[in-house]
Every structure is written in C-alpha cells, then in structure tokens.
C-alpha cells in the first residue's frame, strides 16, 4: 500500500538532487567566469589569488564542465610572459586534470600546456614537461591521452638545450614503458630520432637506452625493427667508439628479443 508513496518520494528526492546539482554546476561556472577580469590584470598580486580561486572551485567540483570552464579561463595566465604567473597556472591546470578521470578534461589540460612547453624560459618548460607526465599517468591508461602527451613532447625533445631535452627523453620512456601500446612505442621512436642524432654524447647515450628499452619491450616485429633502424646512426663517423659499441649492443639485445613470439 505504501509503494506508490515511496516511489513518488524517491522520484521527488532524485529530481531535487538533480536540480541542486545542476544549480551548483552553473554557480561554480559563474564563480569561475567572475574571475576573468582579475586573471587578466597586469598585477600579479591580483592575478595569483584569482588563479587559486579558480583552481579551488574546479578541483572541488564533481562536474567536468566546471573543470573545462576553469581550464579555458586558465589559458590566459598560462601564456603569461611572467614565470611567477605562468608556473602557478601550469600547476593549477595539472591539479584540475588530476581531480577527475574525465578524458575531455585531460585532453583540454594537455592542450592548455602547448604554450608553456615551448616557453622561452627553461623553468617553465620543465614544469610543463612534468605536468604532461603527471596528467598522463593519472589518465587511467587512456590511449588517446598517451598519444597526445607524446605529441606534445615532440617540441622539447627536439630542443637544442640539454636541460630541456634530457627531461623530455626521460618523460617519453617513462610514459610508454609498460603501456603495451604498439602505437605509443612507434610514436616514441619517431620522437627519439632527433635526440639520437644530437652532437652531445650524453643525449645520445640516454636516447640509445630509451630506444633499447622500447625495442625489447615491444611485441610487434615491426616496432622492434623500427627501434633497430633508429639506432643505425651509430654507423656514422662522428660517433665515438663507445657510442657505436653501446648502440650495437642495444641492437643485439633487440634482435635477441625477436626470438620470442612476435606479431
């Protein structure tokens, strides 16, 4: 006899909760958008507090749309020429991305990092590289996010500054290792063609190690052969004997791993 009443009560409560949730989402979005003027202010004393307000609202919200609104607003400070504004903006973007498993949020967070990852200052670029790493690791093994991250790392891995290039190489191998994703392995190997041709032996040794690890881990024969092909610059005359020996050793280990079942 009480069933109709219970059903009506449950339906009403659900409707009220949905309406409240929608209201909270709109209010949070309005609160973020209200910081637009402050976030564009020339004074860091005004911009930074606004930045943290946006981050606080976005990370606390359970709604992806609120987070996307925040990321959209943060595209302004993350392009700032002032490191003390740009770096906190990168951290805020990272925190917002890591507060959810939503792929759209992760994708937009990585897109927002396109500017800082090619910044004119090393400090900003290093923070951006680290942010790409963190966001990708927290993306719940999303293939789309992994490939997007590797594409972003193409820029710093091609840098002529070792302080930028070495962390980028390290980031690439850390992201793909253990992924079991042949497309990611292939993309990583393409990215590593530039640093392995570097004039700096430290970069070459580091890259040879990365290529070797990918080549051994990959299941696909095509990927293994590509890794070996990337190592072929070792035959060039400008390589030292130690580099040639290391590259040949890596090639041998990759070939050896082909004795296992490959596809």
Alpha-carbon distance of 205 to 95, in angstroms, equals: 34
Q: Which residue has the tokens 């290039």?
A: 165
For 51, what's the count of Cα atoms within 13 Å in the CB-facing half-sphere? 26
Is residue 194 over pLDDT 80? yes
| Lowest mean per-residue pLDDT among 10-24, 168-182, 211-225 | 10-24
- Closest of 83, 21, 78, 80 to residue 55, by C-alpha: 78
- Residue 58, C-beta contacts closer than 8 angstroms, at least 6 positions apart: 28, 32, 66, 67, 69, 70, 71, 96, 99
Domain boundaries, the chain: 43-140, 153-263
The pLDDT value recorded for residue 141 is: 79
The reported pLDDT for the residue numbered 12 is 41
* For residues 17-23, average pLDDT: 47
Distance CA 165, CA 205 (A): 13
Q: What is the mean pLDDT of the chain?
A: 88
Of residues 186 and 44, more confidence is placed in 186
Position 8 confidence tier, pLDDT thresholds 50, 70, 90: very low
Taking only the tens place, the pLDDT of each residue in 198-230 is 888 899 999 999 999 999 999 999 999 999 999
Q: Where are the alpha helices (DSSP H) in the chain?
A: 3-33, 36-39, 44-60, 64-74, 83-97, 103-112, 122-137, 143-152, 154-157, 162-176, 182-191, 193-196, 201-217, 221-230, 241-257
Among 230, 227, 222, 220, smallest CA distance to 260 is for 220
Report phi then psi at 243, rounded to 5. Answer: -65, -45
Least confident among 67-71, 136-140, 256-260: 256-260
- pTM score, whole prediction: 0.85
pLDDT tens for 68-111 read 999 999 999 999 888 999 999 999 999 999 999 999 999 999 99
Q: 102 or 5, which is more confident?
A: 102
Q: What does the alpha-carbon distance between residue 138 and residue 254 come to, in Å, rounded to a whole number?
A: 30
Q: Taking Cα atoms as reference points, which of 116, 120, 72 lies closest to residue 96? A: 72
Phi, psi of 161 (to 5 degrees): -100, 115
């Amino acid at each position: 006899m009480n069933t109709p009443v219970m059903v009506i009560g449950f339906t009403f409560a659900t409707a009220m909760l949905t309406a409240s949730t929608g209201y909270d989402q709109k209010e949070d979005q309005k609160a973020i958008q209200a910081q637009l003027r402050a976030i564009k202010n020339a004074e860091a004393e005004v911009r930074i507090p606004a930045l943290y307000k946006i981050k606080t609202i976005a990370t606390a919200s359970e709604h992806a749309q609120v987070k996307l609104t925040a990321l959209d607003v943060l595209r302004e400070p993350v392009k700032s020429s002032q490191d003390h504004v740009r770096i906190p903006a990168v951290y805020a973007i990272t925190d917002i991305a890591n507060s959810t498993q939503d792929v759209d949020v992760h994708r937009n967070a990585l897109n927002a990092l396109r500017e800082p990852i090619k910044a004119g200052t090393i400090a900003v670029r290093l923070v951006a590289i680290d942010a790409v790493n963190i966001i990708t690791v927290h993306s719940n093994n999303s293939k789309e996010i992994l490939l997007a991250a590797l594409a972003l790392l193409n820029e710093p891995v091609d840098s002529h500054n070792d302080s930028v290039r070495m962390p980028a190489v390290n980031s690439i191998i850390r992201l793909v290792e253990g992924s079991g994703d042949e497309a990611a392995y292939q993309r990583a190997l393409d990215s590593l063609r530039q640093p392995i041709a570097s004039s700096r032996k430290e970069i070459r040794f580091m890259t040879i190690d990365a290529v070797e690890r990918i080549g051994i881990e990959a299941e696909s024969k095509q990927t293994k052969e590509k890794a070996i092909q990337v190592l072929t610059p070792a035959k060039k005359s400008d390589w030292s004997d130690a580099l040639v020996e290391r590259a040949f050793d890596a090639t041998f280990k990759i070939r050896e791993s082909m004795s296992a079942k490959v596809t």
